[in-house]
Amino acid sequence: MSQRRVFERASASSIRYAVRYFPRTAVQRRFASEEMPKLTGAADNAFNRERMAVKQHAGESAELWRRLSIYVAIPALILASINGKILWDEHWEHWATLPPLEERVEYDYQNIRTKKFPWGDGDKTLFWNDKVNYHKKDK
């Protein structure tokens, strides 16, 4: 069988599957939020009653988590962001009061270099930041 014929067969079967099953799921989703129907006759058995109770519980749980997400999580994220911004500003205000980088003490355990780095001038690490890092090369 040629590759083209196999592809046509595969795409035709996937189209048949989509036509057969996707409308059903769309209808089920649309009606899932409505009130549960009353069971009568042969449909009123223990299995169906339990299934309806599970569906109702799932709907209530989903509503609880939706409300928690909207009314708890989002305000918590906003408050955490405000707190982070305040701390960030305080940090840089304090940083501005420190002496310049060139005048700070460089301890023996800082900026240990046993060989040059393979990038740049060989003295700066991969995560070097000129605003906060300084290395006295004369040591």
DSSP 67-129: HHIIIIIHHHHHHHHHHHHHHHHHHHHHHHHSPPGGGS---TTSS--SS--SSTTSSS-TT--
Q: What percent of the chain has pLDDT over 70?
A: 72
Average pLDDT taken over every residue of the chain: 80
Comparison of pLDDT for 70 and 4, the residue scoring more: 70
Q: Residue 19 — very low, low, confident or very high, per pLDDT cuts 50/70/90?
A: low
pLDDT recorded at residue 102: 83
Report d(CA 2, CA 24) in Å as an integer: 34
pLDDT tens digit string along 31-85? 555 666 777 777 788 888 899 899 999 999 999 999 999 999 999 999 999 999 9
Q: For residues 134 and 128, is the Cβ–Cβ distance under 8 A?
A: no
Q: Residue 89 — very low, low, confident or very high, per pLDDT cuts 50/70/90?
A: very high
Q: What is the mean pLDDT of residues 2-12?
A: 58
